[in-house]
């Protein structure tokens, strides 16, 4: 009887794994974070839910565009934002412009879904125009249901949430702007 239970549990686990990969994809965005917080953050990219945005993230990672990019806007209890590949590199940080830049590629059409914004969710930052996401993204510190269906969800932290929670917080009076911010030392894509 015990062997049958183990076999059933293994089968259920295998089915869950395959359904998860089918629903979300098998690519991991790995961020090596450095600064006051340091560690590795693995993000399961939702390549099936947000294929256009996932493709953009992967392209920028393969071009090393995220390497050295700061977490420029970090609001305690809400989220940490990064990805300004134009003005946000730690080696040439343009503090007055960071958060207003993107990549050299065109903005993306929204891929809104029913994926909820909860702790660990990764969404694409944008302006008021829903079709203005480009390279910036944010990682949630807590649930934020008011964002559901209004921003493209591109993934979920599956490892390293403790590193995310320790990212240096910004000044709430300055909309979360961070002085001497933590940054992405290296970004890579890993297939699982």
Q: CA 144, CA 150: separation in Å to the nearest integer?
A: 11
DSSP 52: H
Q: CA 181, CA 36: separation in Å to the nearest integer?
A: 8
Which tens digit of pLDDT belongs to each residue from 70-92? 999 999 999 999 999 999 999 99
> What average pLDDT does range 114-129 have in this prediction?
97
Residue 11's pLDDT is: 56
Q: Number of folded domains in the chain?
A: 1
The model carries a pTM of 0.88
In-domain check, residue 37:
yes
Closest CA to 35 of 184, 187, 186, 188: 184
In-domain check, residue 12:
no
Residue 25 binned pLDDT confidence (cut-offs 50, 70, 90): confident
In-domain check, residue 15:
no
Q: Burial code of 164-177, b = ≥16 C-beta within 10 A, e = fewer?
A: bbbbbbbeeeeebb
Q: How far is the CA of 116 from the CAs of 9, 147, 156, in angstroms?
A: 28, 8, 10
In-domain check, residue 169:
yes
- 112 is in which domain, residue-wise? 25-191
Helix and strand element counts for the chain (H, E) = 3, 8
In-domain check, residue 176:
yes
- Whether residue 94 is predicted with pLDDT greater than 80 in this model: the reply is yes
- Whether residue 2 is predicted with pLDDT greater than 70 in this model: the reply is no
- Whether residue 12 is predicted with pLDDT greater than 80 in this model: the reply is no
- Whether residue 14 is predicted with pLDDT greater than 70 in this model: the reply is no
Tell me the pLDDT of the chain averaged across its residues: 92
The CATH number for 58's domain is: 2.40.100.10
Q: CA 121, CA 141: separation in Å to the nearest integer?
A: 8
> What average pLDDT does range 50-57 have in this prediction?
98
Q: CA 94, CA 99: separation in Å to the nearest integer?
A: 10
């Amino acid at each position: 009887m015990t062997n049958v239970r183990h076999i059933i549990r293994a089968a259920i686990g295998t089915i869950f794994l395959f359904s998860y990969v089918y629903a979300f994809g098998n690519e991991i965005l790995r961020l090596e974070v450095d600064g006051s917080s340091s560690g590795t953050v693995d993000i399961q990219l939702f390549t099936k839910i947000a294929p256009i945005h996932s493709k953009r993230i992967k392209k920028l990672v393969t071009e090393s565009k995220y390497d050295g990019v700061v977490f420029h806007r970090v609001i305690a209890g809400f989220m940490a934002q990064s990805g300004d590949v134009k003005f946000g590199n730690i080696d040439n940080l343009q503090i007055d412009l960071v958060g207003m830049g993107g990549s050299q590629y065109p903005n993306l059409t929204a891929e809104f879904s029913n994926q909820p914004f909860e702790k660990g969710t990764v969404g694409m930052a944008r302006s008021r125009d829903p079709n203005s996401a480009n390279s910036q993204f944010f990682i949630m510190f807590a649930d934020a249901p008011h964002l559901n269906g209004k921003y493209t969800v591109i993934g979920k932290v599956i490892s390293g949430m403790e590193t995310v929670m320790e990212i240096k917080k910004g000044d709430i009076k300055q909309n979360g702007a961070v002085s001497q911010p933590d940054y992405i030392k290296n970004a890579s894509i890993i297939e699982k």
